Structure 1
Amino acid sequence: MSEANLKSQESTVYRVQGFSCAGCAKTFEKNVKQLSGVSDAQVNFGASKVTVVGNATVEDLERAGAFENLKILPEKSKQVIPKEPFLKKYSVLFVSVAFIVLGYLSQNVYGEDNISTILAFLMAILIGGYSLFKVGLMNLIRLQFDMKTLMTVAIIGASIIGEWSEGAIVVILFAISEALERYSMDKARQSIRSLMDIAPQEALVLRNGNEITVHVDEIQVGDIMIVKPGQKIAMDGVVVKGYSSINQAAITGESVPVEKNVSDEVFAGTLNGEGLLEVKVTKLVDDTTIAKIIHLVEEAQAERAPSQAFVDRFAKYYTPAIMIIAALVAIIPPLLFNGSWEDWVYQGLAVLVVGCPCALVVSTPVSIVTAIGNAARNGVLIKGGIHLEEAGSLKAIAFDKTGTLTKGTPVVTDYKILLNNDPNELLGIIAALESRSQHPLASAIIQKAVNDDISYKEIEVVDFSSITGKGIKGRINGMDFYIGSPKLFVETLSSFDIAGIDSEIKDLQLQGKTVMVIGADQKILALLAVADEVRESSKDVIRKLHTLGLKKTIMLTGDNQGTANEIGRQVGVSEIKAELMPEDKLKFIKEMRYEYEKVAMVGDGVNDAPALASATVGIAMGGAGTDTALETADIALMGDDLSKLPFTIKLSRQALWIIKQNITFSIVIKLLALILVIPGWLTLWIAIFADMGATLLVTINSLRLLKVKE
């Protein structure tokens, strides 16, 4: 059943403690699917969660995971990772090592065939390999061939041919290899657990005039939280009283605190500075931005990257193939070439051990979980391994202009009176008309009127109407006023003569400004120019992307060509496409994909949704507090600026490179070890060290992704 179908049905999610390897997670998933009353199940190994469709109790699930002593918890329960003393945690390993030491001492004194020597190694095998055999024998009975099946057969075979000491060593080294894999996954998951601990579990709430401490689960939308200096904010909300600076690094990755005043939005898990704030709660605890980030990151870990899908397909055929090769190595030389049965059975067992796909299986998930966790801690939400890999192979990036390369908050830059009108009186009329408009630039004009202390609200406007895509009109004091683009006066209001100001309009447009013409009584009264300010970080971001080797950066905008050229020149993009409708942007993204294959689109997650969806990777700006950005984008930059984009590309490329390194190394080391079979040089020692060494190296290599910084 697909993940989409799984989510569409009524399901329950549980957290799982105790996974030692990806293979064990798959075995657990199969066991859960076989439970009575369960129609489907899906294990998310990266996040240590299982989604169950149907009826199953915690006890049922723990029985399904009894082979590895798995602990099952409801999803919303607080995870308490049991901290066992080091000696207790690895007591079985230490006891096994002690018996191996006794075995070698006995071997030196009494010989390797002495009963005390054999007994010591046998005890080491039984104690150290108990959990391994429990799973391996069960898998063997069910004809399920995974790494534990291979190791079980190899150790039993070694015992049968009298290689007790090597069988014991294989048990110990495999246990160490499993411990390394468990440690690496725990280390990778820790970046997500750290997110879970960001938001406090209690808050000081004002109720009936009293300040009381309430658990976050009991806080309702509309409650007023009191956040003292130095405290973390427990819930998303809006400041209703007070002023302070907030450290939002946990959500947006910004290192510099952000000033917050009345009506400003604040997020759960962020740290209040020196001011006392009263915050009106706007979201329940499960709907806060940090809760959504955690949920989406955990879901992302379940999304299989292309390389992981390849590894899974490869391992499906690889493990049975290794067993067949091992059997042929053990049988053919003695039967056809008069070889020693003992020597070649030993070689066959060594093939089983070296063929254990530990390193291959762990190579991809550790890299993906580590990279996604690192990105989340730096204010970037990557919603799956596939998007991580795709971002690493991008060749071109397209940018929406407004709100992406620019701040998205236009300001009036020029106001020129052309006839003998009172500038303040005319600005009041313009503001009165624009206050009734829905155009994005209207706010800039109203703000100028407010800044210049111009009164406009009492001015009566009648017969107001919008001229679609071109401007507005309205009657004030018996006179019809028109405000709009030069195109309005050329194409619709041809009775107005704007030829005399054509050069002034073009000059302003060449400066990257949007020009509005004000006319009445067949005369042009004034010109207004509005510009959207370029973000301080945009130029540096584009430069870094070019340094990283991207072939093309393109700005897509619906604005006029002059404005687009000026903004494009300032930020340094390699190509500019202006005067585009949303459908034009979609068409252009499709053309780019045909030319460059891997193309990203960066926007605000609300506008240009078709272009974002059509791109190889859709990257949304300002994910913090924006549900649309979080839900629709493949990658969300939580802060409202582009500074995290080069880091995201760098991290994705590094992850892609490390995954390829891990897969290649895992396969090559196996092939090199298998070549040693030809001269009969492969031993169980070499085999287990090749396997354990490969697992250790790919794990360490993957954890390097934690150190990737901006």
Structure 2
Amino acid sequence: MHCATCVATVSRSVSSVKGVVDVNVNLASGEAKVSLSNAKLKDVVEAIRKAGYDVLTQRATLKVSLNPEEVERLREEIEEMPGVVKAIVNVDGVVYVEFNPLSTNAEAIREALEKEGYKVSVLAGEEEVPEVLASRRELRGYLYALAVGVAFTPLTLIFQYTGLTFLALLFSLPVQLYSGLRFHLGAWRAFKNKTTNMDTLVSLASNVGWLYSLYSFLIGGPTFFDSISLLITFVLAGKTLEAYLKAKSTNEIAGLLSVKAHVLREGREVEVDSSKLEVGDVVVVRAGETIPADGVVEEGMGEVEEAIFTGEVRPSRKVKGSPVIAGSTLVSGALKVYVTRAKNRTYLAQVVQALREAQNAKFPIQKLVDRVSQVFVPAIISIAVVAFLVWKLVMGVPTYEAVLFSVAVLAGACPCPLGLATPMAVLTSVNKLAKKGIVVRDGDAMEKLNQAKVFIFDKTGTLTKGEFKVTKVTVDEETLNAVANLEGYSSHPIAKAISKLAKRKLKVENFSDFPGEGVFGVVEGKSVIVGKKDFVLRNCEGSGEESILVCVDGKVVGGIVVEDELREDAVTTIRQLVKQGKEVYVATGDPDPKLDLGVKVFSGLSPDEKVDLVRKMRKKGLTVFVGDGVNDAQAIREADVGIAVSSGTDIAKYAGDVIVPSVYSILELERMGRRTVKKIKENLAWAFAYNSVLVAIASGLFYPALYLPPEYSALAMSLNSISVVTWSLVS
């Protein structure tokens, strides 16, 4: 902020947030004190950023041990903490927290979570890829617990079947107390937080079965220590396989952030992790290897597959001076690459950060799932109690048999597949899109895109290549040189084309850029205005027919005509959208666009007028705006779904829920959006049906024709989660 207007703008933006009681913005310190009542800090920060300002925040990455069905609850808990702006919680337990450093810090957040019973660690250091580190720890933890189960369960079985019950009891203890510890701790945490989860069911099943067996052993009755050990071991086997499959999917893109690099140090090749590379390093890349950082080819020649950047599977030829992107693969040849961007500044690192945020998509159907998950475990516990009472009191079976039915119900049901259904479907879709150069920042955009009724396309750089050529000039050579020098101060594509006509360098003073209109400056003492016809005629005397007019010292002296070539895929994309029944429009600042696409064209629009057009179209239904991500930033943010078409490598500077390499990619984005919604519905239908059938069988509804004892009920339960994860990965 630099003036009183800024203070007023920020104050007005913050005050517009529902729940803000009072706001005091200090221009001198740059601080804003906000009093909230039933409002979130996240909404305040978003309001400030939408107004065009930013907020000083810090980020931290945590690893939290939790179950998939607890993801949404944990996110809400963190975002309710003082000073927390936003939390992204992934199904693998990796949590990305954005917070106000003046109010809190990573350690305070960790301590608050640990008080709630969560096991938390702070993933610090740029050299670690959080997803890879977290999945490795989770998998290792499951493997250790499973190893103990695999070692002691067979011995428990042998002693149980040979009548050595006391030894069966002793050898079941490591499984019950060590292998099952993560479930018992998770159940205790849920109990402290007055909720329930998958750990509650597994812990209840194993503890009820084991404690009853202990009691029965002491009075000389039948025991089933073997069944309880098998139950825990089977659950761990399923969770281990599930963790492996989740890690494989999660790390598909993120894993490329940490690859082996052969860097030249003092004339020798040294193998290091790509996270340790610095700008200025020279790395050697051979055929079949992944390029470890963004850079420029210093020596060599080769074919590089850059689908993650361009969306093209066909390799491109790289020679000395060619740029290369981290995460792309050298198909053939050998290169020496000078590193220009490393660690979290590479294009790949920006893509991974976008994917992390996209995974937190909240599809409408998930609201129903969240409500079901809240009552799922209490309902299963109730069914287990009813099963015990019916078999014991109505059917008259022995107590130990009634306990087995009850334990089988507890072990056979699991809310995890419900929690995995949406995030796994979204995760696999955004990863597949990223491999084609399509970067999804907001996962919700995939669903909204298919519901959209209106598509608005910018012209320059979106439908056209943005490679302007000057085709006609009606000013003298001296004036043209002045105009070219003036346009050299502008970043607009048309200005760049005109600036190439400069013959010699001239002195330019008092340059002013009027976005969407034109430019002004004093060139060698003469006042020069170049811009759209209407803009120039409002400020100068005279007339002209060209779309771009030139004014010198207040008089129109001629004009310039430029043309831009239409992208090959623009016509195909627009025709497909029209065929789908979408309303398609073109919005351009060009007063004479000369487009023949069969759709209505709004020409001569300023950036603000494009925003107004988006607002008008949103009254018709969900509206998508497709632009270049920089010049159309305001319109893109205003739309329900903003798509930026860009071939740049610094995606952080582009506005948009999605960034695509070409207009045609929108059709692929639509297809993947439909796939995602379909997968979510299929996953949920399967999870509900599977749990219903399994609980019915485990409770003895079809006994004796069909029945699952507790250990096999637990195994079947584990397969439920695995099937959801696996189906999400299938194309």
Structure 1 and Structure 2 fold alike (TM over 0.5): yes
- Partner amino acid for 1:555? V
Distance in 1 between the 2:376 and 2:595 partners? Answer: 56
Within 5 Å, give how 1:276-291 maps onto structure 2.
281=340, 285-291=343-349
The question of 1:579 aligning with 2:624 is answered no
Q: Per the alignment, do residues 204 and 65 of structure 1 end up closer, same or farther by CA in structure 2, a change over 3 Å counting?
A: farther
1:150 pairs with 2:201: yes
Q: Which amino acid aligns with 2:587?
A: L
Matched, 1:13 2:37: no
1:196 corresponds, among 253, 257, 281, to: 257
**Does structure 2 conserve the Cα–Cα contact (< 8 Å) formed by 1:252 and 1:379?**
yes
- Aligned position for 2:504: 457
- SS of the counterpart of 1:642? coil
Instruction: Check conservation: 1:14, 1:75, Cα contact below 8 A.
Output: no
CA distance, structure 2, for counterparts of residue 374 and residue 575 of structure 1: 34
2:625–2:635 contact (8 Å) kept in structure 1? yes
Kindly indicate whether residue 421 of structure 2 is the aligned counterpart of residue 363 of structure 1: yes
Give me the whole-angstrom Cα distance separating, in 1, the residues matched to 2:72 and 2:561. 63
Distance 1:340 1:565, change over 3 A: same
Tell me which residue corresponds to 1:178: 239
Give the root-mean-square deviation of aligned CA atoms: 5.6
**SS of the residue 1:651 aligns to:** helix
Task: Please list, as runs of the form range in 1=range in 2, the aligned pairs for 1:544-559 lying within 5 A after superposition.
Answer: 545=577, 549=580, 551-559=582-590
Give secondary structure in 2 for the equivalent of 1:74.
coil
CA distance in 2, matches of 1:370, 1:188: 7
Structure 1 Cα separation of the partners of residues 462 and 628 of structure 2: 7
Residue aligning to 1:605: 629
1:299 & 1:254 partners in 2: Cα distance? 25
Cα deviation 1:349-375 (Å, max 9, x = unaligned): 343333321221222222233223333
The CA deviation string for residues 562-603 of structure 1, in whole angstroms up to 9 with x for no partner, is 52542x34xxxx543333332332233234333233x32221
Counterparts in 2 of 1:399 and 1:246: CA distance versus 1, 3 Å:
same
Counterpart check, 1:529 vs 2:561: yes
Provide the rounded CA distance (Å) in 1 between the counterparts of 2:531 and 2:652: 31
Q: Which amino acid aligns with 2:629?
A: G
Q: How far 1:104 moved relative to its partner?
A: 7.5
> Cα offset for 1:146?
1.5
Aligned position for 2:593: 563
Worse-superposed segment, 184-193 or 97-106: 97-106
* Bigger Rg, structure 1 or 2: 1
Amino acid across the alignment from 1:287: R
- Shifted more, 578-587 versus 267-276: the winner is 267-276
For the residues of structure 1 that align with 2:445 and 2:209, how far apart are their CA atoms?
Answer: 45
How big is the shift at 1:533? 1.0
Match of residue 444, structure 1, among 473, 491, 497: 497
Q: Which residue identity does 2:504 align to in structure 1?
A: K
The separation in 1 between residues aligned to 2:247 and 2:585, in whole angstroms, is 41
Output one character per residue of 1:94-117: Cα deviation in whole Å (capped at 9) or x when no partner.
Answer: 3355246526854xxx6xxx7379
Q: Which amino acid aligns with 1:701?
A: W
Q: Which amino acid aligns with 2:89?
A: N
Distance (whole Å) between structure 2 residues aligned to residue 182 and residue 468 of structure 1: 51
Instruction: Kindly state the Cα deviation for residue 196 of structure 1 after the two structures are TM-superposed.
Output: 0.9
Match of 1:538 in 2: 570
Instruction: Name the CA shift for 1:30/1:431 in 2 (closer, same or farther; >3 Å).
Output: closer
Structure 1 residues 77 and 587: alpha-carbon distance in aligned structure 2, compared to 1, 3 A threshold: same
2:158: which partner in 1? 102
**Conserved? CA contact 2:459–2:587, under 8 Å:** yes
Q: Secondary structure at the match of 1:155?
A: helix
Please, which of 144, 147, 152 is the counterpart of residue 91 of structure 1?
A: 147
Of residues 69, 94, 97, the one that matches 1:49 is 94
Pick from 631, 644, 662 the counterpart of residue 620 of structure 1.
644
Deviation at 1:399, TM superposition (A): 1.7
Report the Cα distance in structure 1 between the residues aligned to 2:195 and 2:554, rounded to whole angstroms. 86
User: Who is 1:509 aligned against?
Assistant: none
The equivalent position to 1:407 in structure 2, one of 462, 465, 468, is 465
Paired positions, count: 649
- Is contact 1:364-1:659 (8 Å) kept? yes
Alignment of 1:680-699 (within 5 A): 681=703, 683-684=708-709, 687-688=713-714, 691-699=717-725
Q: Distance in 1 between matches of 2:541 and 2:85?
A: 69
Q: Which amino acid aligns with 1:349?
A: V
1:126 aligns with 2:147: no
Q: 1:281-360 residue pairs with structure 2 within 5 A?
A: 281=340, 285-302=343-360, 304-308=362-366, 310-331=368-389, 342=399, 346-360=404-418
Q: SS in structure 1 opposite 2:590?
A: coil
Choose 163-172 or 659-668, whichever is displaced more: 163-172
Supply the AA of the counterpart residue of 1:155: S
Please state whether the residue corresponding to 2:470 is helix, strand or coil.
Answer: strand
Alpha carbons of structure 1 residues 175 and 55: separation in structure 2 relative to 1, 3 Å: closer
Which whole-Å deviations, capped at 9, do the CAs of 1:365-397 have from their partners, x for residues lacking one?
Answer: 222332233333332222244334434544443
8 Å CA contact 2:625–2:642 kept in 1: the answer is: yes
- Which stretches in structure 2 are left out of the alignment for 5+ residues? 1-39, 47-54, 98-103, 214-221
Structure 2 distance, partners of 1:266, 1:476, is 40
SS at 1:558 equivalent = coil
- State the shift of 1:39 in Å: 9.5
The 8 Å contact of residues 484 and 498 in structure 2, kept in 1 or not, is answered as yes
1:517-553 deviation digits (Å, cap 9, x = unpaired) = 6899999998753211111232333455567x46333
Aligned residue in 2 for 1:510: none
Is 1:700 matched with 2:726? yes
Whole-angstrom distance in 2 between the partners of 1:429 and 1:39? 57
Tell me the SS of whatever aligns to 2:620.
helix
Please say if 1:666 is aligned against 2:680: no
Contact 1:99–1:124 (CA<8 Å) still a contact in 2?
Answer: no
Q: Distance in 2 between matches of 1:129 and 1:12?
A: 34
Q: Which moved more, 1:50-59 or 1:584-593?
A: 50-59
| Residues in 2 aligned to 1:471 and 1:151: alpha-carbon distance in whole angstroms | 69
2:196 maps to amino acid? F
CA distance in 1: counterparts of 2:118 and 2:652, whole angstroms: 43
Indicate how the Cα distance of structure 1 residues 262 and 56 shifts in structure 2: closer, same or farther if over 3 A, else same.
same
Deviation (angstroms), 1:702: 1.1
Bigger shift: 381-390 or 23-32? 23-32
Counterpart CA distance in 2 for 1:431 and 1:467 is 21
Q: Residues 487-525 of structure 1, C-alpha deviation per residue, up to 9 Å, x if partnerless?
A: 6898888866x7xxxxxx7xxxxxxxx745689999999
| Secondary structure at the counterpart of residue 441 of structure 1 | helix
Once the two structures are TM-superposed, the CA of residue 141 in structure 1 deviates from its matched residue by 6.2
**How has the CA–CA distance of structure 1 residues 137 and 649 changed in structure 2, closer, same or farther, with 3 Å as cutoff?**
closer
1:656 is aligned to 2:683: no
Provide the rounded CA distance (Å) in 2 between the counterparts of 1:412 and 1:604: 21
| Other structure's SS at 2:253 match | helix
Match of 2:568, SS state, is coil
Shift of 1:486: 6.1
